[in-house]
Chains A and B, each alone.
Chain A
Amino acid sequence: MEIKWYLFLSIALFCIGMIGALTRRNSIIVFMCIELMLNSVNLLLIAFSKMHMATVNAFGTSMATSAQIFVFFIMIVAAAEVTVGLAIIVMMYRNTHSIDINFLNRLKN
């Protein structure tokens, strides 16, 4: 299959995530949409790494591995973000008994 189909798929997933993150009001759903954005990037990186399989660096090894390792780092960082993010959402729920983002705008003044 051509590389462009992978590109279209991951950009479509990315846009779905982005639109969801900007329009939804439930903070858990917003959070899921952001995760979808990160995972679409993972898919794209893997597809590109397959494309670069034949490219060889100065040491004679394939350049494809660097993108695959990048994906592992993205997964680890996403896990760290989930840890912090869920803790923040739980903290907010304890104080307001709501996970709606609109509720926060009422506190502005």
Chain B
Amino acid sequence: MNAIILTAIWGVIMMFGGVFFKKNTTPKYWAIAGIVIIIVANIFEFFGHQIFHVDTKGMLRFDAFSLHFNTIVFICTLLFFLLSGRDFEKIGIHVSEYFSLIFFVLCGVSIVSSFNTLLLLFLGIEILSIPLYILTGSDKRNLKSNEASLKYFLMGAFSTGLMLMGIALIYGGNSLGSFYIDAINLGTGHLPVLIAAGLVLLLVAMSFKVSAAPFHFWVPDVYDGAPTVVTAFMSTIVKVAGFIAFIHLFQYSFGAMQSQWQTLVVIIIAATLLIGNVTAVFQQSVKRMLAYSSIAQAGFMMFALFALNDTAREGILLYAAAYSLASIGLFSVIAKMSDYSIAGFNGLGKSQPTLALTCTIFLLSLTGIPLTAGFTAKFYMLMAAVKDGHQIWLVIFAVICAAISAVYYFRVIQAIYFKEPTPEINAQMPITPAFRWIHIIIAGLIILLGILPGLVIDWIYY
């Protein structure tokens, strides 16, 4: 509860702060202060100290898993603010508003991690999406940004319609007439028609939100057109929150009848892995390549939905941390570049040795090389699928797809170390020592989680 209330309050503070802040650089420090306060309040709640006592009639349920997930997301946001806070000033003059919208998104994130009724699921997803439509179009003069924003908005509203229809059908189908997700749980019996239709509609709508194939077609255009800082935020933190909502919903409401809908998830996983990885190989722009790679990573995260056991719950947290950290680091470098082609990375190893090293670690982690967090995360996901016991071919297929992903990730590493630098591109990169140190911290965290994944996982059972 602390996180939900404080993020909303801080969003309002940032919004009105825009009137009082004289300099464009001030909002960044306020945002960092806000996120630190929210992290502390959330950790306090994790250890049982609530600041706000609100009776939600069981509509929200805060367990160790959801609070721990909130902490991970907020720490990633803190690192994101520290790295990319300056890049918001490049989008436009309303810097304070951009931060305020991000705090509203975080409010939505903390609702979707702990909802207990379909009403709160719907509200959380909307609180998370509507500020993002605005942020995507925040570069108002840029036609690509406009296009991305309109596309994202229409697709998002359409999928909301599908989700609401699913919720209405489920409400009509269960005899209790309740929106609570554990009341929907009908056990292992045969699905009534209304609930089956509702389940499929919810599956489609949530796949839209987490960009799983075949509902991924909006992703490349939106991620490419949005300002790079915004892309960094929505391809990591928001997507991971979507997955938590997805898994939470399907575990508590339809978990017992998993065998009846598992085939649908298998088809979605296979399509997502194949389309994401194969299309990413052919991309010339690094930003677009990362958009496709985020589809491919979504395929791996879907394994948690496929297995729905304890290992999957541990794995999704680890995956959230590993994927967000590596992507935020990479996007922060791309945001500093003038063009997003692979040539922009040429000769980075000579001009910026530290940055080149950390970027290499991020790319290795995204590929899933041992000793990085990306490897342990993928390992947990596949282990969950093997423990589940059905569809072993899917695991082999996923490993092959991870091998394909090495092609496009390693091409960037090759450009960093083995190509001659193009001086006019690299000379423009303004790199401060603080930026370099935060990069080193993120790379350190990735390697630490690769060696000791228990640092993240064990807190679930606190």
Contact = CB atoms under 8 A, between A and B. Distances in A.
A44 B130 CA distance: 25
A52 B168 contact: no
Nearest to B178: A63
Contacts of A96: 143, 146
A51 B154 contact: no
Contact of B150 (A27, A38, A48, A80): A27
B123 interface: yes
Contacts of B149: 88, 91
Interface in B100-142: 119, 122-123, 126, 130, 133-134, 137, 140-141
A80 B131 CA distance: 10
B31 to A, nearest CB: 22
A107 B177 contact: no
Interface string A71-109: 001100100110011011101100110000100100110
Nearest to A43: B168
Name which of A30, A51, A77, A96 has the most chain B CB atoms within 10 A of its CB: A77
Interface in A55-80: 55, 57, 63-64, 66-67, 69-70, 73-74, 77, 80
Contact of A48 (B122, B130, B172, B221): B172
A14 B221 contact: no
Contacts of A74: 122, 164
Name which of A10, A41, A73 has the most chain B CB atoms within 10 A of its CB: A41
Interface residues of A, number: 48
Contacts of A104: 146-147, 150-151
B161 A85 contact: no
Interface in A26-56: 27, 30-31, 34, 37-38, 40-41, 44-45, 47-49, 51-52, 55
A44 B172 contact: yes
A55 B126 contact: no
B150 A89 contact: yes
A77 B130 CA distance: 9
Contacts of B172: 3, 7, 44, 47-48, 51
Contacts of B122: 73-74, 77
A70 B158 CA distance: 18
Contacts of B415: none
B146 A34 contact: no
B85 to A, nearest CB: 24
B221 A108 contact: yes
B261 interface: no
B269 to A, nearest CB: 25
B137 to A, nearest CB: 5
Given A45-B171, A80-B130, A73 B177 contact: no
Contacts of B141: 95
Contact of B146 (A41, A47, A48, A95): A95
A101 B147 CA distance: 9
Contact of B168 (A45, A69, A95): A45
A84 B134 contact: yes
Contacts of A44: 165, 168-169, 172
Nearest to B136: A88
Contact of A55 (B157, B169, B177): B177
Interface in B429-450: none
Contacts of A81: 126, 130, 153, 157, 160
A91 B150 CA distance: 10
Contacts of B123: 73, 77
Contact of B158 (A10, A34, A48): A34
B400 to A, nearest CB: 30
Contacts of B140: 91, 95
B157 A85 contact: yes
A29 to B, nearest CB: 11
A16 interface: no
A57 to B, nearest CB: 7
B176 interface: yes
B175 interface: yes
B161 to A, nearest CB: 4
Given A14-B165, A77-B126, 18 more contacts: A21-B154, A30-B154, A31-B157, A37-B158, A37-B164, A40-B165, A41-B168, A44-B172, A52-B177, A55-B177, A63-B177, A66-B119, A70-B179, A74-B164, A77-B122, A88-B146, A107-B143, A107-B144
Interface of B: 119, 122-123, 126, 130, 133-134, 137, 140-141, 143-144, 146-147, 149-151, 153-154, 157-158, 160-162, 164-165, 167-169, 171-172, 175-179, 221
Q: Which 3 A-B pairs have the closest CB atoms?
A: A52-B177, A37-B161, A63-B177
16 contacts: A10-B168, A21-B161, A31-B154, A37-B158, A37-B161, A48-B171, A51-B177, A66-B119, A69-B119, A73-B122, A74-B122, A77-B160, A81-B160, A91-B146, A91-B149, A95-B140
